[in-house]
Amino acid sequence: MFFLDKEIDKLDVSADRITCLLSSMNEVQVALPGIPGQRSAAHLCAYGVSGGYEAVAVLVLCEVRKLAFYRYKEVFPVSRLDDVVQEGILFVESMGFMLNDLDFKNLSLEDRKRIWDSSPLSKGEGGIPRVAAQPSAAVASPSPSLGEEVTPPNLPPTGGEEKGAMRDFEKRIELSRRMGRLLASF
């Protein structure tokens, strides 16, 4: 079981002690107590300490540039490493993240140091890049409602097109429609 630990602000661990590092492939909207909901990334890290191993799940809150550390309940032996990592994966993925195993332990020590030194986990909150303000996608380009017919933009014909021939963008839209029908049939 993982618990929020407000005492941690970064992981003071050398790259050679890290046995497992997973990183999210996506960002998810997360709301923590006292912090407004925002885009977040996630990491799962297991590393050696005296007496065994520790594991932490870390949420990187992009807009407020904070880290939220969830520590595994206890130091555990190497025999439980795989089970604890699987529990951590379930914990993080239950929030909607998709984790990617960086295969950290099989990289050269130089590559591990380079990756670890560039990670916000090792730098703390100062290592989180600032987020540029982006217009809301819903306002910028509303998506059609279910069942609504999508019409291609009215673009001028390019030279060399035969009358009645489908243009590339029309082919892509038709392919997209057919793919949607195919996937909906499963």
Is 12 in the same domain as 44? yes
What's the structural domain count of the chain?
2
Which of 78, 93, 127 is a domain's end point? Answer: 127
Measure the CA–CA gap between 180 and 178, rounded to whole angstroms: 5
Residue 141 lies in a domain: no
Q: What is the pLDDT of residue 62?
A: 85
Is 21 in the same domain as 98? yes
Closest by Cα among 43, 37, 65 to 128: 65
Residue 136 lies in a domain: no
Is 101 in the same domain as 12? yes
pLDDT exceeds cutoff 50 at 140: no
Residue 169 lies in a domain: yes
pLDDT digits (tens, 9 = 90+) for 58-114: 999 988 888 999 999 999 999 999 999 999 999 999 999 999 988 888 889 999 998
Is 38 in the same domain as 108? yes
Q: What is the pLDDT of residue 35?
A: 85
pLDDT exceeds cutoff 70 at 181: no
Measure the CA–CA gap between 8 and 45, rounded to whole angstroms: 14
Residue 135 lies in a domain: no
Is 175 in the same domain as 90? no
What Å distances lie between residue 28 and 38, 55, 85, 101, CA to CA? Answer: 8, 21, 21, 18
Domain extent for 110: 2-127
Q: What is the pLDDT of residue 36?
A: 87
Percent of the chain exceeding pLDDT 90 equals 44
Backbone angles phi, psi at 137, to 5 degrees: -65, -30
Residue 137 lies in a domain: no
> Which one has a higher pLDDT value, 97 or 169?
97
Q: What is the pLDDT of residue 138?
A: 45
Is 161 in the same domain as 116? no
Hey, which bits of the chain come out as E strands?
A: 2-4, 18-24, 28-32, 35-49, 52-61, 66-72, 99-101
35, HSE (Cβ side, Cα atoms, 13 Å): 17
Is 98 in the same domain as 170? no
Percent of the chain exceeding pLDDT 70 equals 68
